[in-house]
Chains A and B, each alone.
Chain A
Amino acid sequence: MSDRLIKMQIPIILTAIIGLLMIIEFFFPMPATITNLNITLRSFVTIISAAALILGTIVLTIYHGKKVGTKGSEWYYSIVYILAFAITAGLGVINVRDTTFLWIYNNMTSPIGAALYSLTAFYITSAAYRVLRARNWEGAILLVSALIVLLMLIPIGAILFPPVVPIGTWIRNIPSGAGFRGMIIGTSLGIMGLGVRVFLGRQKEHLGIREERRGSE
């Protein structure tokens, strides 16, 4: 089989067929054969995601293994990774409901995940201090709106300054809501355009393929 067929044509044809099957099933009542086929295809998503996770883990483990082997920069952290991976993966493989495995997940993985998520609050504050300056009229409007909506959102804000509730609600519902609606419409159209280009095979960069410029000169 030629390289072009495998790398380009087969993925494009598969994408188009499977995508159209899903779209058709959404709009038209389908016989059980098609519905069952689509259910099977959707379950492939789970399997491929799991395989992708394993692939990424293998790549990362090889990378850290090489670092330890060649004593690259900060190679000792790679040992920490390898040990943590070996212990957690080993316990999970033996029994995913094992109490030690669940203890690691509940007392280490989850709190660390929550803590990393909470970094957002600190960076928003830092960004707001640096960026929210009334350099011009638009900046001033943004600043005032942000302060009003902030006061509306904090529990005590409405008690301290009652007018922020109707004004902030108006800002959130009317100009902000209108803006978001416009963005949702635009984004949906953009996704449709992308879908058509990908299904027709007109855009192939996401397959790692770049063809030289074509079309009318």
Chain B
Amino acid sequence: MALIVEGRLIGLVSLLIIAGSIIYYMQRAYAGQLPKLRRLAAVNQIDEILGRCVEMGRPAYYLMDTVNMDTPSVLAPTVAAFQILAYTARSAARLGAKFFVPVVQGLAYTISTEIVDEAYRAENKSDELKLEEAVMYLPDGADRMYIINHMWSDGMAGAFFIGSWYHKAVIFTENAARVGAMMLGGTDTTHNIPFIVAICDYSIIGEELYALGAYVSEDPTVSSSLAGQDVGKFIALILIILGSILLTLGISIKGLLSM
């Protein structure tokens, strides 16, 4: 019996190298050696949007779209969205902004409730929070009309579109733009990134969503893991260049890569 399932050796080696470098950089951070990381502007933009909501006395919406946590491609961005929600809710509590989080799945609803409740408690603002109005469960399908209707009636001043966004991205962002809200959008679903980037005032795309999740933890050992991810990017870059040269020379490495 083979030690490794056929066709998965390269994948295993890649996983070990990248996971290993992420852990390496996190351990270095524990020892006080922090890597130099570019500051992600989105962290300041969250506070800017919430500040605008406080000034105008109008609510901020935090929308996550698809939160079916049983689907792997949705789970990762949803977890990142929860991490960013924790930071955003705490900032909203600290600044005194009205906050609304509609959720379309029961499990995600309970997690969001916990996160928002914990955030307000951490800021000693639990008495200002009406949890069942701040976090609301809406059945998938009914959420579109409810949220659009309330965007107009509330005159929302700020909106966050974070998570795994599918076709609803353009519906909600366009409405929010027409209402006059300042928006931060972030998704890793590649075919909806163009809509988010074109319509939102600020955007975080692809892996920046996960990077923001690391940044907002405000733990330098956690954000150091981003340096480990960059090792993966350098490896990918080298392989792309090498592969292009080899293919141009007529040397195929398909067999090697499918080991």
Contacts and interface: CB of A to CB of B under 8 A. Distances in A.
A–B direct contact (CB < 8 Å): yes
Interface of A: 23, 26-29, 45-46, 48-49, 51-57, 59-60, 63, 112-113, 116-117, 119-120, 123-124, 126-127, 130-132, 142, 180, 183-187, 189-198, 200, 202-203, 205-210, 213-216
Contacts of B76: 190-191, 194-195
Contacts of A180: 190
B180 interface: no
Contacts of A117: 167
Contact of A185 (B132, B214, B236): B236
Interface stretch (B46-54, B113-121, B154-162, B247-255): B113-121
Contact of B106 (A52, A124, A210): A52
A96 B137 CA distance: 25
Contact of A28 (B5, B69, B178, B195): B5
B5 A29 contact: yes
A29 B84 CA distance: 38
Interface in B183-210: 188, 190, 193, 195, 198-199, 205-210
Contacts of A190: 76, 80, 188, 206-211, 229
Contacts, number: 213
A196 B23 contact: yes
Contacts of A189: 18, 207, 229, 232-233, 236
Given A27-B4, A27-B8, A186-B206, A206 B141 contact: no
A213 B29 contact: no
A132 B4 CA distance: 51
B56 interface: no
B83 interface: yes
Given A27-B11, A203-B217, A208-B115, A113 B141 contact: yes
Nearest to A196: B22
Given A193-B226, A202-B221, A52 B111 contact: no
**3 tightest CB-CB pairs across the interface, nearest first?**
A208-B114, A56-B106, A190-B207
Interface of B: 1-5, 8, 11-12, 15, 18-19, 22-23, 26, 29-32, 34, 68-70, 76, 79-80, 82-83, 85-87, 90, 105-111, 114-115, 117-119, 122, 132, 136-139, 141, 144-145, 167-168, 170-171, 173-175, 177-178, 188, 190, 193, 195, 198-199, 205-211, 213-214, 216-222, 225-226, 228-229, 232-233, 236
B115 A192 contact: no
Contacts of B171: 119-120, 123
9 contacts: A27-B5, A28-B5, A116-B145, A126-B178, A131-B199, A183-B188, A189-B229, A191-B188, A215-B30
B44 to A, nearest CB: 18
A23 B141 CA distance: 34
